[in-house]
């Protein structure tokens, strides 16, 4: 889209295939094919940006060197023209399912809130500094479709400085690799719904949406890449909320939500803990992985209202919650607590062998943002009537995850102020 004389001109563009986006982990089994047409569309903007849209995020940085708590704070509205790092047109890699404006979302304020810690300033994201820190390195986002959503945000944020090239994509588009050639920086997404080895249950020839999880055996599809990874960013959680069966040493030890007589329901928290324990233990015992920097992004809860995903549940709010309005669910907070406990456990051992384990705690911040999900504006032609209240629009609140990521890396590498 070009803005001429303050007027928006129509642009013909090809929608990115829906299959480029990871399957929404909305607690259902979803099979799909991709056949996306060429459309003509118009997106309304309040005003034209005064800068090249590919270089929106280049203000002079003023770093606060205090080591304050980044994860307790509130959201602050920024309505100036340069508050956006990118637009849904300037970033070429936004998948259709996260391109909420393109899919007809009429409001725009949700894009203009920034996370503000209570006792310091979180610097704006700066692509030059990020790429300088990771120059010559490999970063992997390891986890479910929210891990991919996080990575998709980072791709857009970095596109102001360099456009990456896709150098690998598997047949299912679950594993993808980009290269930022000028910086020799490799960015990967490694899809794993459970971290551990899992097989979907089949009954009478039909997939059930439930899985057999082997809690003492990791999924080798992602572990095989670890020796080549410098930064591993983990996140998982939503797929554990299905009726799953849990195994250790090949023996059934319990289940999650199976409701089967004689099988103990151990709850999703047990499975999540064991999965992260197994992953971090493997990293710390992997001689070829020495020196890896592991970051764990805490649980980002689904925010369905008026029913579950398959009961008409939606997320139609256009206003964020104030801090005092947030109702922290016991389960959401339990998942976060488990993840924090396991990252601390791994750090205690890993620091002795040169591995770093850090936390990106987004749970509280994202509970304030029910306005930031695609909702009904996720462009899904196969499941009309369903809302996506788990993933995040781009641009949107999820961009704060990468502001936090950069600040954490900057603190570890202070020469790159």
User: Do residues 409 and 130 make contact, with C-beta atoms less than 8 angstroms apart?
Assistant: yes
Q: How would you write 141-185 as a 3-class SS string? A: EEECHHHHHHHHHHHHHHCCCCCCEEEEECCCCCEEEEEEHHHCE
Scan for tokens 């591995």, then name that residue. Answer: 355
Q: Which residue has the tokens 């642009």?
A: 11
Block residue for tokens 């996140």: 235
Residue among 325, 301, 393 at smallest CA distance from 27 = 301
CA–CA separation, 401 vs 413, rounded Å? 18
Give the number of other Cβ atoms within 10 Å of residue 264's Cβ.
13
Altogether, the residues listed in the chain come to a count of 417
d(CA 379, CA 34): 12
In the Cβ-directed half-sphere of 176, how many Cα atoms lie within 13 Å? 19
Look at residue 228 and give its three-state secondary structure.
helix
Q: 122, 153 in Cβ contact below 8 A?
A: no
**Rounded CA gap, 244 and 167, in Å?**
35
- H/E stretch holding 52 reads none
Alpha-carbon distance of 223 to 245, in angstroms, equals 22
Secondary structure E strands in 204-241: 206-218, 231-235
Nearest Cα neighbor of 291 from 241, 240, 371, 351 is: 351
Q: Which residues are catalytic?
A: 145, 388, 391
User: CA-CA-CA-CA torsion for 156, 160, 162, 164, nearest 10 degrees?
Assistant: 20
DSSP state of 296: E
Report the C-alpha dihedral over residues 131, 133, 139, 142, rounded to 10 degrees. -110
Say how many Å lie between the first and final Cα of the chain, rounded.
34
Q: How far apart are CA 287 and CA 319, in angstroms?
A: 48
For residues 339, 345, 351, 356, the Cα torsion angle rounded to the nearest 10 degrees is -10
């Amino acid at each position: 889209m070009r803005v001429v004389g303050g007027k928006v001109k129509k642009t013909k563009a090809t929608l990115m295939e829906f299959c480029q986006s990871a399957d929404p982990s909305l607690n259902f089994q979803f099979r799909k094919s991709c056949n996306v047409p060429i459309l003509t569309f118009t997106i309304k903007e309040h005003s034209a940006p005064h800068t090249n849209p590919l270089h929106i995020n280049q203000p002079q940085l003023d770093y606060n060197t205090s080591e304050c708590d980044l994860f307790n704070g509130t959201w602050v509205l920024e309505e100036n023209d340069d508050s956006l790092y990118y637009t849904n047109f300037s970033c070429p890699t936004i998948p259709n399912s996260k391109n909420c404006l393109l899919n007809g979302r009429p409001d725009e304020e949700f894009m203009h809130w920034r996370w503000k810690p209570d006792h310091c300033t979180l610097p704006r994201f700066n692509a030059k500094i990020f790429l300088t820190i990771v120059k010559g390195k490999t970063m992997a986002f390891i986890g479910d479709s929210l891990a991919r959503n996080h990575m998709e945000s980072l791709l857009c944020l970095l596109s102001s400085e360099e456009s990456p090239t896709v150098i690998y994509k598997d047949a299912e588009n679950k594993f993808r690799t980009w290269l930022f050639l000028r910086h020799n920086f490799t960015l990967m997404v490694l899809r794993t719904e459970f971290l551990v080895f899992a097989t979907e249950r089949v009954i009478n020839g039909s997939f059930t949406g439930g899985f057999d999880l082997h809690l003492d055996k990791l999924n080798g599809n992602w572990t095989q890449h670890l020796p080549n990874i410098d930064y591993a960013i983990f996140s998982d959680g939503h797929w554990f909320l299905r009726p799953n069966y849990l195994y250790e040493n090949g023996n059934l030890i319990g289940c999650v939500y199976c409701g089967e007589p004689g099988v103990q329901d151990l709850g999703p928290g047990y499975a999540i803990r064991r999965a992260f324990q197994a992953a971090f233990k493997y990293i710390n015992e992997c001689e070829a992985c020495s020196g890896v920097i592991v970051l764990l992004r805490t649980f980002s809860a689904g925010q369905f209202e008026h029913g579950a995903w398959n009961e008409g549940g939606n997320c139609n709010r256009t206003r964020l919650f104030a801090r005092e309005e947030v109702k922290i669910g016991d389960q959401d907070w339990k998942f976060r607590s488990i993840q924090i406990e396991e990252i601390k456990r791994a750090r205690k051992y890993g620091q002795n062998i040169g591995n770093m384990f850090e936390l990106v705690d987004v749970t509280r911040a994202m509970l304030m943002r029910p306005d930031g999900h695609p909702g009904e504006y996720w462009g899904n032609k196969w499941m009309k009537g369903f809302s996506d209240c788990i993933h995040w629009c781009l641009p949107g609140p999820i961009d704060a995850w990468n502001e936090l990521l950069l600040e954490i890396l900057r603190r570890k590498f202070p020469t790159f102020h």
